[in-house]
Structure 1
């Protein structure tokens, strides 16, 4: 499952699946240098990807068409944007929306007039449209009702936004969907060759999101100049601070269950760099130690600035800042004396990791992100983890005794759920005809049980174990499945994933007390999102690319340190 010898060796010292896949641990995830947004921009800057505005046909209110031409590793793609304005009561982030302020497509190949005409008709229709096979991504976004016109007005008056008004998670466009990989006729990613700069999973999505953010800057400055030709441009820290807004709900949750090999790859991109870093020796004068202190200082202030941000049921940012302040003291002790808690050590990372874990999962998540940040050695190797085989297959010749052994070894965690207890099966998951995305219903109350999604791994394993109890040891799995065909899916899953350490989240998605936010936040951290603001137990708001390099930065090869980007100063 690991593509290089170094990664295979590192896996042996990585944290156990029981730790990594614990729901509370997953719910404390923070983005790292290997999250998709960070790794994408690192690659783009290394190759000096260039973005040029090929077309800008937009009126004073921001309605019109825009084309960005992007040079990516010797190739070209284009980002074609259709911008309009909606009445506020017509804006919604829901999948069932029929119109958006912005719709866009990331395309390969020439942009002829006939193709432009087709895109003009199809892209704004989104779910009801059809793409050509040279289109990689469709996306859409809405203007922020709170921030877009406010920022345009401030710029038109010659000023900059006020951070007190913009709040903790500043953006001027919020994305609502990214579609790809065959949907609506979009290009299948399997056709991208090994040398294609967008071949890695999510790289095309991250490019699209970054360009959407770039467009948001261009659009708000254009609208400001339409109001006053002498309007200011976003400057100082504001030039890069604004991110791309996003919100996610229950639709994300089944993904990591339905794609276990992907979950393993995502966990490995976090855990293997951490295991590598924790194994390294340190010295008080090591530049990496001093860089880590600087990052920890910044993180402490970053979360202190967000002390009022609503984060329940997660730890408040103010409390997290206080926890990080303790770790700052520990690291300062090490720099000053070579000791941690009075004991000499040449493995400061391991000591800090353990100390952070003793404080709490959130503190450990931040501390580990800092530790990994100062160890870039695995950057290239880790990216190859994301290309994984997702097929599941039954091994018919395996005996029932062998299958039992696999279950005892790999799925002992399901025993903590008692499925004779109605609370452990209080919910079911289904695809809503009205909402067009996965939803959770109350068993015995809400309609839809007849189309329940098979994401009940813990319950299915429990049922399999019960029927295996009466099977003879030497009976083959093939014969067992002839008698019990309903277990075919879970048997294929268990057998295929035997050597895949991080394939199963240790949770029961059917339980009354299941907290979707934990799996959602883990996925969002993998994308590179931050500023987690839960709106309920089922969905949360986030931002992407706050502080990230802009197009001119990347073209100049700049991918500087933008982790824990602090708010703009008043004199920005």
Structure 2
């Protein structure tokens, strides 16, 4: 696939928070990718050790064989008081702590890992350990599912809200932190050379652990307790609660943002450029997926996940799109006009409705790009570097700003509302926060995420400078602009590196940027709790590890509907 021939959406559209607000997971999101790779390459994942008591306390080890590679996922499980279950980094205790380790582990290895892994931030890893993570039992769902299973019943489908999970993860640490293995050690052909694959494998196994724990606890109460069967055995995801900390990451890593956006935009551009015949399998597939999406959303009901649309309302907005597909399937027309490019027209109509409808339709259409899986996966690797090209001239940099940063015209920094907020890390909670400039303490240690303001200030300074002056000479007299200069020069060739947003503005909505990031990971069931954080699930509906061995690890689990009361009657 030659990306140069594709007609991509404009960065001025794609990178606006209003468009990001409709982002959803696709077949190329990290969660889908890791299971697809595990299935295609014949990974063997099995329980190597289960040492749990009736309350689900103890040690579990998953053995992972991926060709010539072997890893162990070592989990330490205990129970903590409800009051001690916190989503924040400053939590001191968790129901589950775990590590993904290179190679196999024996009892001595487990005991060596225990005092470090269970302490998380206070511990120290060794060179074999790739990931540290931790999770808590769901205070809403875990015990209820155990109770139902102990009574010989499947879960009650009416008990779950927008984010169904048994365990909720609160962090994944990697790449040198606390002494963890540096990812630079992985060669290009290593499974973990693909960004976030080690994290996603760990998250998948945490989710599997949640299933194991509820069934273990249920059987301890009643020896003939039910196991999760039918659709229930794959319904639950891994929970996550995500806050402001994600937003500075994409601002500080523009090369990563560009790669993530291409992961989404290139497959979309490829599919809308394709023709399709009425009655073809692709047309039937799109119709099926739109129906599935509508069912999935309708089940979420009228609960308003502000600032987003309720599931029921979003499902209703999809109905005209479904009718367009039916029209094309029957007559070869859309809106009464013949077309050979139904997917382009369908996407354009969806975009005219709103960003959330467009996001659903884009995810549906991207399901048709199975042939691009390997190509898209290769888009994730990027190089990040920051150096000043000192010999460049002021006029060259100024021209680059006028060409690539014309969107700065949207922000007038003489307006106090455009600089109302600043971002900092809380000393108490060790997490990013927003505060009022000129009012709240901490402004002197604020995060340098003011890209729009910084480049606007640089542009003004350059406009009054001799055009032939070198950038090196300019920075000698204006060192405060060094960071902005390096950033502009580093991302000059990247179309999707800069959010069209001012993070300091009073009306900036962090949730929209978080939603993009979570969708890239593969998360869904967005359930905002404020303007700054939301609950989500990962791997809801995904295959289980025993599906790998049975050959049933399918890649068709987007928009997984909620099981019904009789969904557990099939055999496990």
User: Which category describes the TM-score, using the shorter chain as reference length?
Assistant: over 0.9
Unmatched tracts of structure 1, length 5 or more:
none
Q: Which residue does the alignment assign to 2:559?
A: 564
**2:329 aligned with 1:335, yes or no?**
yes
Distance 2:67 2:290 in 1: 34
Distance 2:163 2:452 in 1: 37
Q: Which residue does the alignment assign to 1:78?
A: 72
Distance 1:168 1:430 in 2: 31
Q: Which residue does the alignment assign to 1:249?
A: 243
Whether the aligned pair in 1 keeps the contact of 2:263 and 2:379 (CA below 8 Å) is: yes
Pick one of 335, 348, 352 that aligns with 2:342. 348
Whether the aligned pair in 1 keeps the contact of 2:162 and 2:526 (CA below 8 Å) is: no
Whether the aligned pair in 2 keeps the contact of 1:309 and 1:533 (CA below 8 Å) is: no
Tell me the alpha carbon deviations over residues 41-77 of structure 1, each in whole angstroms, 9 at most, x when there is no partner: 1111111222211111111111111111011233210
Whether the aligned pair in 1 keeps the contact of 2:328 and 2:342 (CA below 8 Å) is: yes
Q: Which residue does the alignment assign to 1:182?
A: 176
Pick one of 51, 75, 89 that aligns with 1:57. 51
**2:235 aligned with 1:211, yes or no?**
no
Distance 2:268 2:490 in 1: 26
Q: Which residue does the alignment assign to 2:472?
A: 478
Pick one of 154, 157, 160 that aligns with 2:151. 157
Q: Which residue does the alignment assign to 1:532?
A: 526
Distance 1:60 1:307 in 2: 36
Tell me the alpha carbon deviations over residues 386-434 of structure 1, each in whole angstroms, 9 at most, x when there is no partner: 1100112211111111111100010111121111111111111111111
Distance 1:472 1:195 in 2: 49
How is 1:129-140 mapped onto 2 (pairs within 5 angstroms)? 129-140=123-134
Distance 2:261 2:404 in 1: 17
User: What's the secondary structure of 2:119's corresponding residue?
Assistant: helix
Tell me the alpha carbon deviations over residues 414-464 of structure 1, each in whole angstroms, 9 at most, x when there is no partner: 121111111111111111111112221211121111111111000001110
Distance 2:3 2:131 in 1: 32
Distance 1:109 1:157 in 2: 40
Whether the aligned pair in 1 keeps the contact of 2:75 and 2:98 (CA below 8 Å) is: yes
Q: Which residue does the alignment assign to 1:120?
A: 114
Whether the aligned pair in 2 keeps the contact of 1:45 and 1:556 (CA below 8 Å) is: no
Deviation at 1:122, TM superposition (A): 0.5
Q: Which residue does the alignment assign to 2:357?
A: 363
User: What's the secondary structure of 1:378's corresponding residue?
Assistant: helix
Whether the aligned pair in 2 keeps the contact of 1:153 and 1:224 (CA below 8 Å) is: yes
Q: Which residue does the alignment assign to 1:287?
A: 281
Deviates more, 1:124-133 or 1:385-394: 385-394
Q: Which residue does the alignment assign to 1:15?
A: 9
Deviation at 1:275, TM superposition (A): 0.5
Q: Which residue does the alignment assign to 1:169?
A: 163
Whether the aligned pair in 2 keeps the contact of 1:171 and 1:245 (CA below 8 Å) is: yes
Flag as ranges the 4+ runs of structure 1 deviating above 4 A. none
User: What's the secondary structure of 2:193's corresponding residue?
Assistant: coil
Pick one of 420, 429, 440 that aligns with 2:434. 440
Distance 1:310 1:211 in 2: 32
Tell me the alpha carbon deviations over residues 138-179 of structure 1, each in whole angstroms, 9 at most, x when there is no partner: 000000111111111111111000010123321111111110
Whether the aligned pair in 2 keeps the contact of 1:310 and 1:533 (CA below 8 Å) is: no
Q: CA RMSD in A?
A: 1.1
Pick one of 549, 563, 566 that aligns with 2:543. 549
Distance 2:261 2:212 in 1: 36
User: What's the secondary structure of 2:527's corresponding residue?
Assistant: strand
Pick one of 379, 392, 417 that aligns with 2:411. 417
Q: Which residue does the alignment assign to 2:306?
A: 312
Distance 1:556 1:400 in 2: 63
Q: Which residue does the alignment assign to 1:381?
A: 375
Tell me the alpha carbon deviations over residues 364-395 of structure 1, each in whole angstroms, 9 at most, x when there is no partner: 11101111101212210111111100112211
Distance 2:44 2:3 in 1: 33
Deviates more, 1:150-159 or 1:72-81: 72-81
Distance 1:36 1:110 in 2: 25
Tell me the alpha carbon deviations over residues 491-542 of structure 1, each in whole angstroms, 9 at most, x when there is no partner: 0111111100000000000111110001000000000000101100000000
**2:315 aligned with 1:321, yes or no?**
yes
Q: Which residue does the alignment assign to 1:6?
A: 2
Distance 2:105 2:155 in 1: 37
Whether the aligned pair in 1 keeps the contact of 2:163 and 2:535 (CA below 8 Å) is: no
Distance 1:328 1:513 in 2: 35
Deviates more, 1:183-192 or 1:307-316: 307-316
> Closer, same or farther in 2 for the Cα pair 1:168/1:469, shift >3 Å?
closer
User: What's the secondary structure of 1:110's corresponding residue?
Assistant: coil
How is 1:495-534 mapped onto 2 (pairs within 5 angstroms)? 495-534=489-528
User: What's the secondary structure of 1:250's corresponding residue?
Assistant: coil
Pick one of 195, 201, 217 that aligns with 2:195. 201
Distance 1:352 1:382 in 2: 23
Distance 1:80 1:544 in 2: 20
Pick one of 273, 276, 294 that aligns with 2:270. 276
Whether the aligned pair in 2 keeps the contact of 1:48 and 1:556 (CA below 8 Å) is: no
User: What's the secondary structure of 1:142's corresponding residue?
Assistant: strand
* Total equivalences in the alignment: 566
Q: Which residue does the alignment assign to 2:570?
A: none
Distance 1:278 1:67 in 2: 45
Distance 2:150 2:282 in 1: 44
Unmatched tracts of structure 2, length 5 or more:
568-572
